[in-house]
Amino acid sequence: MVIAYATSYCARDGMAAQQHTVDILVVGSGAGAMTAALRAACENKSVLIVEKAAKYGGTSATSGGGLWIPCNHLLPSVGIDDSRDNALKYLRQLCGTDVANRSIEAFVDNGRRMLEWLEENSHVRYMAMQHYADYYQELDGAAPGGRSIDPYPYSAQELGDEFLNMQDNHVQTKVMGMMGYTNIEGAILLSKSPGWFRLVLKLALDYFMDIPGRLKSRKSRRLTMGNALIGRLRRSLLDKNVPLWLNSPAKSLLVENGRVCGAVIERAGERLEVRADAVVLGSGGFEHNQTLREQYLPQPTQAEWSSASPTNTGDMLLAGLEAGAATHLMDEAWWGPSITLPGEDRSRQLFTERSMPGCIMVNRAGKRFFNESVAYTTAVQAMQKSGNTPAYVIFDSRYKREYPFGPLLPDAMHLNWLQPSRFKHILTSASSIDALATKLGISGSLSETVSRFNTFAAQGKDQDFKRGENAYDLLYGDVRISPNPCLAPIEEGPFYAMEVYPGDIGTKGGLLTNEYAQVLDTSGAPIAGLYAIGNTAASVTGRYYPGAGATLGPAMTFGFIAAEHAVSG
Ligand SMILES: Cc1cc2nc3c(=O)[nH]c(=O)nc-3n(C[C@H](O)[C@H](O)[C@H](O)COP(=O)(O)OP(=O)(O)OC[C@H]3O[C@@H](n4cnc5c(N)ncnc54)[C@H](O)[C@@H]3O)c2cc1C
């Protein structure tokens, strides 16, 4: 394939600017952006990816890499049936009032096609997560598992030196900040399912026995989760000679006669005009733009509560607005209860800790206010009700001995002495629940809440919030605890607490798009030449999070759709 760049100089606004010409310009290097680039490159189009950060992959590289793809072709391998009707029924209940039906159908109809295409035309490989249930089990059409899929690990050696240019995994997706694990392995470890200890040993052995890798860095060469996905996509793009410019932020869009015909890129201090038949914006959301957060998101809100990539500051959202684009769902995010730790540039998510037995979450009045085992977006939706921010996660010494919490490994592993000293004091502790409440400044009776919860734990029935009564809750329960794997008493001192904030793993409002991922203007007409995907676009799943992988699944599907539309137009 020939990648043709026309390079010339033009005078614009009195400034000489170097000019490049490609067929398709992709802004951002997350999974959706890379999928769009690859799809277009496979149609023999010249494609350029520009990335603002010094490393490629964005939040996608730091993510779990899971995709939520209804009716995917891997479902039969885990014995689960799915149908278009069921998927549409489920999604329409969740987002039918917020999202155009044509877009919902485009996602369901093209998700499987995108995945099959990638498996045939790239290095991307996935396995179905049999037990990863959709997040709203009570709704018609919810699946008990299998719509969420997990990337196969990948060897960093396949990437050569380009491995070093990839964003590292989020620190919370590695044991002790070192060893990665797949989502399926993570579920085994956390629920202490049979074989969990053998798995820990195997992960440690693989990591420490990779002597050449260890001599180079702490970074594991067994890529998992988002690193596996982005590594596989990057390898596929390298095979097609698709250039990816790092440290090259897009600054604005070039618009002529109502058509977007490229973007201004800053590269090595130079202003370049990259002209293109189509521009695909995959530059993430506005997670780390405090001004935009305060303008659009529910209050209180802090950029530091986000676990997304710090370079996602809504640049192309603003450029889209300047080009006349409409926006939608701007008050929404992929919410997640977060904790912030000293010395880290993004928050950590409490995806699983809340569900393990022997902990509760309470508000400032010392009251539980929701089922702690629900999925992360639902958890923050509960925290956003008055009086629930910050919330406190409370647990006892048995919990601390048995389960990981944030950066801390289970005490029983006796490895926390290896942790950086800045983690030593992240928890508030006290010898009694009353003393803990006093230290936290909790106004109501935390002791009453704990003893009521302990009664439920003994019965195995959470009479207030039904924790542990559906397939999703049980995913991160402890299978050794009965009758309810999500409930155990909080009774063994000392007792511990940590403040939790309504954070996110990405914003989900953005430029309004149609079923082809074309950006729409305020009159509802497509802006010619402009596409938006991922968190730059308003989400196809509206205000909800249908299941694990529901941010990357649609991002990649609409990246795929955008590329097909752009190359055919
Ligand atoms: C710990 C964690 C686990 C997660 N697990 C999952 C999961 O398993 N499944 C799932 O679906 N979601 C998951 N998510 C959420 C998911 O990672 C994000 O929603 C998703 O990656 C967003 O994709 P994106 O392409 O919109 O943005 P990103 O992947 O963040 O990519 C945007 C890129 O654009 C670049 N950029 C920004 N501005 C510019 C500019 N002006 N010019 C050029 N480049 C620019 C950024 O630097 C960045 O590299 C997780 C998130 C976290 C933090």
> What is the residue-wise DSSP string for 92-148?
HHHHTTTS-HHHHHHHHHHHHHHHHHHHHHSS--EEE-TT---S-TTSTT--SSSSE
Which CATH superfamily hosts domain 1-168+223-332+508-569?
A: FAD/NAD(P)-binding domain (3.50.50.60)
* pLDDT score of 9: 45
Mutate to test the pocket of ligand 1, among 29, 59, 234 (most ligand atoms within 8 A of CB): 59
Q: Which residues line ligand 1 (CB under 6 A)?
A: 27-30, 32-33, 50-53, 58-60, 62-66, 170, 172-173, 249-250, 282-284, 307-309, 311-312, 315-316, 334, 349, 505-506, 534-536, 548-552, 555
pLDDT at 2: 35
Q: Which DSSP string corresponds to 200-261?
A: HHHHHHHHHH-HHHHHH-SS-SEE-HHHHHHHHHHHHHHHTT--EESS--EEEEEEETTEEE
Q: How far is the CA of 536 from the centre of ligand 1 (A)?
A: 10
Helices 225-239, 31-41: inter-axial angle, 10-degree rounding: 20
What pLDDT, on the 0 to 100 scale, is given for residue 100?
97
Using alpha carbons, select from 455, 396, 506 the residue that is nearest to residue 31.
506
- The yes-or-no answer to whether 1-168+223-332+508-569 and 336-504 have a common fold is no
Beta bridge partners of 252: 264
**Looking at residue 197, what is its pLDDT?**
85
- Host H or E run for residue 39: helix 31-41
Ligand 1 atom 4: residue of nearest CA: 63
The pLDDT value recorded for residue 178 is 83
Question: 336-504 has which fold?
Answer: Flavocytochrome C3; Chain A, domain 1 (3.90.700)
The rounded Å distance from CA 403 to ligand 1 centre is 28
Neighbours of 463 (CB within 10 A): 9
Peptide bond before 298: cis, by omega within 30 degrees of 0?
no
> 249: alpha, beta or left, given left = phi > 0 and alpha = psi -120 to 50?
beta
Instruction: Give every residue of the chain whose pLDDT is below 50, as ranges.
Output: 1-15
Q: Are 516 and 447 in contact (CB under 8 A)?
A: no
CA distance 227 to 249: 22
Element at 553 (helix H, strand E): helix 552-568
Helices 31-41 & 552-568 angle (0-180, nearest 10): 30
Q: Whose CA is nearest to atom 48 of ligand 1?
A: 58
Query: Which is it for the CA torsion 320, 325, 330, 333, positive or negative?
Result: negative
Please tell me the predicted confidence (pLDDT) of residue 321.
98
**Ligand 1 geometric centre to CA of 194 (Å):** 34
Query: Which atom, in ligand 1's list, is nearest to the CA of 61?
Result: 29
Nearest one of 547, 554, 430 to 497, comparing CA atoms: 430
Ligand 1 pocket test: which of 312, 315, 351, 352 has the largest number of ligand atoms within 8 Å of its C-beta?
Answer: 312
- For ligand 1, the distance from its centroid to the CA atom of residue 58, given in whole angstroms, is 5
Q: Residue 125 contacts by C-beta under 8 Å, 6 or more apart in sequence?
A: 119, 151, 152, 232
User: Which residue(s) pair with 63 in the sheet?
Assistant: none
**Long-range contacts of residues 518-526, Cβ cutoff 8 Å, at least 24 apart:** 518/562, 518/565, 519/281, 519/320, 519/323, 519/325, 520/325, 520/326, 521/324, 521/325, 521/326, 522/324, 522/325, 522/326, 524/326
The strand pair at 244-245 and 47-50 is best described as parallel
CA of 568 to the centre of ligand 1 (A): 27
Nearest CA to ligand 1 atom 9: 549
Tell which atom from ligand 1 comes closest to the C-alpha of 56.
49
Q: Output the pLDDT for position 217.
A: 82
Q: What is the model's pLDDT at position 17?
A: 66
What are the sequence ranges of the domains in the chain? Answer: 1-168+223-332+508-569, 336-504
Query: What pLDDT does 305 receive?
Result: 97
d(CA 332, CA 514): 19
Ligand 1: residue whose CA is nearest its atom 14: 63
